[in-house]
Chain A
Amino acid sequence: MSAAPAAEERSVVLEVGDLAVSYGKVEALHGLSLRVHRGEIVTVIGPNGAGKTTLLAALIGLLPLRGDLVYLGERQSVGRSVEQLVRQGMTLVPEKRELFAEMSVTDNLLLGAFDRYRAGHRDELETIDHVFDIFPRLMERRQQLAGTLSGGERQMLAMGRALMAKPRLLLLDEPSLGLAPLVIKEIFRTITGLRSTGVAILLVEQNARAALQVADYAYVLETGSISLEGPSATLASDTRVIESYLGLGGRH
């Protein structure tokens, strides 16, 4: 809808500065800054409990946050709601998938386009074809109830449902969680493929090896703040990252 000149190729979609999130008195994240550009895959890796899921939940408005947040060139107010952010093209694929278990795959996907439908767009059937192109498996399963899908298919459905909203910023929370290695490979191949559509992706992962392979830029999150950042290729050869997250050939 908005004018997107070619010069905007490297335009910043999301810029976060000095972000802090607390659960009551406990500070889960502090002094966190990061930036995501259009058509870029940015990953945040880190161990369990570092605050990765908290970061995404706060960004999408499920948790209150403090700090500077600029999304699509607009400073975000404190009282922003999930619904407003969805309307502005931010979509989260949550760690727990949060599918509508007793509904068919097709209905799950259609609901992904609910906000666009409400705003007056009527292109959900074209978008669903596009999503079926990306995930042919969902096409085969389209009549099946979401609750009967395998783990990999559920992840595909959660991602496909998010894509139905035609997002400008896609937040992915641990897409590899609980999946078989082959399926993880497939999911990450899809994520790489999405880059060409111009969507900005913020990928949160424990599987550092897979994440660093697909991402352009990476941050390492440890106990609530960024400890390291840089282009993925640089980080992948950083001794600290190799020791803590990649292991010696990943064999121990």
Chain B
Amino acid sequence: MDLQIALLLGQDGVTNGAIYALLALALVLVFAVTRVIFIPQGEFVAFGALTLASLQAGKLPGTVWLLLAMGTAIGLIECTTAVRARRFHRLPLIILINCGAPLLLAASLLAVSPASLPLLVQVLLTLMLVVPLGPMLYRLAYQPVAEASVLALLIVSVAVHVTLTGIGLLFFGAEGSRTPAFTDANFAVGDVVLQGQTLLVIVASALLIVALYLFFERTLYGKALRATAMNRTGARLMGISGDLAGLLSFTLAGAIGAFSGVLISPITTVYYDSGFLIGLKGFVGAIIGGLASYPAAAAGAVLVGLLEAYSSYWASAFKEVIVFTLIIPVLLWRSLKTRHVEEA
């Protein structure tokens, strides 16, 4: 292996690592706020990538139907609750948000031919189709059992993951899709060629991480999410309900997942079930960070990306084995190092 190959592999590793880092952040966020281990995180990646591919192929993406179905289900539940509480004035708003908005989106997709739209609009449409699935999933699957144990929530996550993978197969078929590169630009730095695509992914991931940091540090809603993660009762007493925090964190997780899907779609061929493995690598990153620290999770995820890239060169067949075996020494080290400290 010479320097050039090493740098090429490094580039690959950092690119994938950047995406794993995004997913690791989402996993840490969701776990800290809601105690849910969000296994379906990867499905958002697959749905994001495949929705974009469908739009570019001029097909109506199946996620539209999922959005409509989940919106209708939530609309029904909320309407029943409102009628029981005799709050009839809330009905129009509930129907408008849960059924009206998805219908409007579906209608506009049918009216225009998405394949002819500029890339940026296609990406925006993809995000509009996939991101709302996050909060909807929370409302339907997690909110009714929000007070359950971590294990029960994990079981719900497994069920949601299996369901979404099945739905993915139904909507997008068994064939994989790959979107054309966002840019063909290349930069030569000495002997090494930096692909524009690679730079784009890294810069976009970095920007999103900075945006998340600013959200958590500078806005009251971001602080409210951190507060919920730190002290549930304290947050409730401030009027920050678990439901609000859950919806907000799942929205962010949905957005991060869909955005990662868009970023990864020109790099690898994405199948309906590719999300799981991608999400799992993000999870390994998050575990390295102890499911608690954001910077450590991001660093862990980049490490996973690099390890994956270099092991695919030397031992391609054992690539996944090597990556997932990493978790064992990390867990050992963590369990030896961590002492339980009483919270103030």
Contact = CB atoms under 8 A, between A and B. Distances in A.
B234 A98 contact: yes
A110 B220 contact: yes
Contacts of A94: 233-234, 237
B325 to A, nearest CB: 33
Given A101-B344, A111-B220, A147-B344, A91 B230 contact: no
A91 B237 contact: yes
A102 B224 CA distance: 13
Given A100-B226, A101-B344, A111-B223, A165 B238 contact: yes
A187 interface: no
Interface residues of A, number: 30
A83 interface: yes
A165 B235 CA distance: 13
A98 B231 contact: yes
A81 B223 contact: no
B149 interface: no
Interface string A83-106: 100110001101000111111000
B239 interface: yes
Interface stretch (A68-76, A113-121, A216-224): A113-121
Contacts of B240: 111, 114-115
Band of interface residues on B:
10 to 19
Contacts of A146: 344
B2 interface: no
Contacts of A15: none
A248 B241 CA distance: 47
A82 interface: yes
A114 B237 contact: no
Interface centre among B223, B224, B237 (most CB of A within 10 A): B237
Contact of B231 (A62, A83, A92, A101): A101
A107 B235 CA distance: 12
A107 B223 CA distance: 8
B162 to A, nearest CB: 33
B231 A99 contact: yes
Interface in B206-233: 220, 223-224, 226-227, 230-231, 233
A98 B233 contact: yes
A112 B343 contact: no
A83 B235 CA distance: 10
B90 interface: no
B334 interface: no
B237 A102 contact: no
A62 B220 CA distance: 24
Contacts of A168: none
Contact of B230 (A103, A112, A114, A118): A103
A67 to B, nearest CB: 21
A86 B237 contact: yes
A114 B233 contact: no
B107 to A, nearest CB: 32
Given A86-B237, A87-B239, A147-B344, A100 B220 contact: no
A111 B238 contact: yes
A111 B233 CA distance: 13
Contacts of B241: 81-83
A161 B233 CA distance: 14
A29 interface: no
A37 to B, nearest CB: 24
A117 B234 CA distance: 17
A103 B236 contact: no
A100 B231 contact: yes
Given A111-B240, A115-B239, A102 B230 contact: yes
A114 B239 contact: yes
Contacts of A102: 230
B86 to A, nearest CB: 11
A14 interface: no
Nearest to A118: B239
A60 interface: yes
A161 B227 CA distance: 13
B238 A114 contact: yes
Contacts of B220: 110-111, 113-114, 117, 124
Interface string A114-143: 110110000010000000000000000000
B304 to A, nearest CB: 27
A86 B223 contact: no
Contacts of A110: 220, 223
Contacts of B236: 62, 82-83
Interface in A25-68: 60, 62
A44 B239 CA distance: 25
A99 B233 CA distance: 9
B200 to A, nearest CB: 35
A147 B231 CA distance: 12
Pairs of residues from A and B, 3 with the lowest C-beta to C-beta distance, nearest first: A115-B239, A98-B234, A86-B239
Given A100-B235, A165-B239, 16 more contacts: A86-B238, A87-B239, A94-B234, A98-B231, A99-B231, A100-B226, A100-B230, A100-B234, A101-B343, A113-B220, A115-B238, A115-B239, A115-B240, A124-B220, A147-B343, A161-B238
Interface of A: 60, 62, 81-83, 86-87, 91-92, 94, 98-103, 107, 110-115, 117-118, 124, 146-147, 161, 165
11 contacts: A83-B241, A91-B237, A92-B237, A100-B227, A100-B230, A100-B235, A103-B230, A110-B223, A111-B235, A114-B224, A114-B238
